[in-house]
Amino acid sequence: MDHFDYRSGVLYAEDVPLADIAERFGTPCYVYSRATLERHFRAYDDALGTHPHLICYAVKANSNLAVLGLLARLGAGFDIVSRGELERVLAAGGDPAKVVFSGVAKQDAEMERALEVGIKCFNVESRAELERLNAVAGRLDRKAPVSLRVNPDVDAGTHPYISTGLKDNKFGIAVDDAFAVYQRAQFLPHLNVVGLDCHIGSQLTELSPFLDALDRLLVLLQRLEAEGIAIDHLDLGGGLGVPYRDEQPPVPFDYASALLERLAEHGRHHMTLLFEPGRSIAANAGILLTRVEFLKPGETRHFAIVDAAMNDLIRPSLYQAWQAILPVDTTLEREAETYDIVGPVCETGDFLGKDRHLAIAANDLLAVRSAGAYGFVMASNYNSRPRPPEIMVDGRQVHLVRQRERLETLWAGESLLPPDEPEAY
C-alpha cells in the first residue's frame, strides 16, 4: 500500500495534489511519500519483531539524503556498494556501525575509509578480495569484520539482468568453494569472521528461491561451526519484489515468518538476521511526474510525447519494465486512445510505456508509478538533459530534497583545448 491516491478524480501524494507540485517545481520531477517509505521500512521491522535483526536498506535503490536520513531515524542500517554511498550515509546521519559493504570490486581506498569509520561488516565476494582486505586492514592495524557472500546457485526466477545467485553470475563465492575460503579467512590475521551472506537477485515474486538459498546456507553454517568458525549473523540480502502490475510478491511478514520457521526447524531460534531491501522499501514510495508535450497520431501507432525520457527513468528501456502510467486529473473531458508514451531523447528505445489506453491531451500531467527505486539513481545526462528535482511530501508539507540540475552543471569540470598555435610559415 502507498500514499498516492485519487481524491475526487485528482491524484494526490499524501495530502498534496500532484498538480500543485508540478506548478511549483516544474516537470519532470520525482515525488516521494515519506509515510510510504516509513510504512515499508516498518513492515520489515515489525515482521521480525523481537527476533534479533537489522534492516540494512540498500542505498543503491534511492540514495537521496532525505530518504537515507529518515530511514536512519527509524533505526535502519545500510547496505552500500561504494565509497560514495558510504559518504552519503554518513552525511545523512546514518550509523556506520550498522553499515554492510557489498560489491565485487572494493578498492583499497574504499576499504580504508570503511575501516576508519568502523562499519559493521564487509560482504566479501572473492578470494582475491579477502586477501586485499586483510592487507589493507593490516596496514591500518585493524581487524576487518567479514562475511562471505556465497553464491548458492539458485534460480531467482527474475529478469536475467537482475538475477545474481546463479553459477553464471559474477557475484559471490560458489557455495562449494565457500568452506575453503572461510578457512582462509579464519587464518588471516587481520580479518574477523562474523557472518554469512547471500543475495540471489531482485524483484523476486516467490518465497521458494529465498528458502532454497537459506537451506544451502544452513548446511554450510553447520560445517563451519563444526570447524570452530563462529558465525554471528546471516545476511539474506534484498530482493523481495513489488507489485508493478499484477504481480503478487510475498509481503515482508510472510517472508519473515517463513524464514523464522525454517530457522526454528534447524534449531536456530536466535540467529541474528540481516536484510538488504531496496526496491520493496522505495519503489512504490515514489512517482515520476511528467507533462504531455504533444500528441502525435500515426498510421500504425499513436504517440504521447512527454517531457520525461529514458535518461530520467531507464527501467522501461533497459529491462522492458512495465510501470503504471496514470493521468493526474481524470475529471477532464478527453477522448481515450492507445498511446506509446515516449520521451524527447533521440532513440527509438526511449519510451516509458507502450500500448497505454489513456484519455489525455497535450499539457496534461501523467504520473509514472513505482519510480521511487532505481529511478533517479539511474538517471543520466544523456542528450545533455539536466536531471530532474526530487521532492518529498510529508502530509501537507512539500520539501524540495534535490534541486533540478542546473544547465551549467552539465559542463562543469570540462574544458576547451588550449588555443591552436598560429601556423608557422
374 assigned binding-site residue: yes
The radius of gyration of the chain from alpha carbons, rounded to an integer in Å, stands at: 24
Q: Would residue 346 show up in a list of annotated catalytic residues for this protein?
A: yes
Q: What is the rounded end-to-end Cα distance, in angstroms, of the chain?
A: 76
Closest listed residue to residue 90, CA positions, set 405, 82, 197, 149? 82
Site residues, ligand LLP (CB under 6 A): 58, 61, 79, 102, 162, 199, 202-203, 237-239, 276-280, 315, 319, 374
Residue 230 sits at φ, ψ, to 5 deg, of: -85, 135
277 upstream amide cis, omega within 30 of 0: no
Task: Output the smallest distance, CB 291 to ligand LLP, in A.
Answer: 24
315 assigned binding-site residue: yes
> Which residue, 206 or 329, has its beta carbon nearer to ligand LLP?
206
Task: Output the smallest distance, CB 249 to ligand LLP, in A.
Answer: 10
* DSSP string for residues in 287-337: EEEEEEEEEE--SS-EEEEES--TTT--HHHHH-----EEESBTTS---EE
239 assigned binding-site residue: yes
> Which residue, 199 or 356, has its beta carbon nearer to ligand LLP?
199
Q: Which amino acid is at 36?
A: T
Which residue's C-alpha cell is 581487524?
143
244 assigned binding-site residue: no
Q: Which of 29, 56, 121, 346 is catalytic?
A: 346
Closest listed residue to residue 191, CA positions, set 149, 140, 138, 230? 138
> Which residue, 240 or 305, has its beta carbon nearer to ligand LLP?
240
Task: Output the smallest distance, CB 220 to ligand LLP, in A.
Answer: 18
Q: H/E element holding 13?
A: strand 10-13
138 assigned binding-site residue: no
> Which residue, 64 or 203, has its beta carbon nearer to ligand LLP?
203
Beta bridge partners of 290: 366
Q: Which amino acid is at 415?
A: S
> Which residue, 242 or 398, has its beta carbon nearer to ligand LLP?
242
182 assigned binding-site residue: no
Task: Output the smallest distance, CB 290 to ligand LLP, in A.
Answer: 18
- Beta pairing class for 173-174 and 10-13: unpaired
> Which residue, 12 or 122, has its beta carbon nearer to ligand LLP?
122
Task: Output the smallest distance, CB 135 to ligand LLP, in A.
Answer: 23
> How many alpha carbons fall within 13 Å on the CB side of residue 318?
14
Task: Output the smallest distance, CB 92 to ligand LLP, in A.
Answer: 18
In Å, what is the CA distance from 270 to each residue of 201, 233, 266? 26, 10, 11
The span from the CA of 123 to the CA of 149, in Å, is 6
Q: Are 236 and 198 in contact (CB under 8 A)?
A: yes
The span from the CA of 189 to the CA of 131, in Å, is 11
Active-site residue list: 346
Binding residue numbers = 239, 276-279, 315, 319, 347, 374
Binding residue numbers for substrate = 279, 315, 319, 347, 374
Binding residue numbers for pyridoxal 5'-phosphate = 239, 276-279, 374
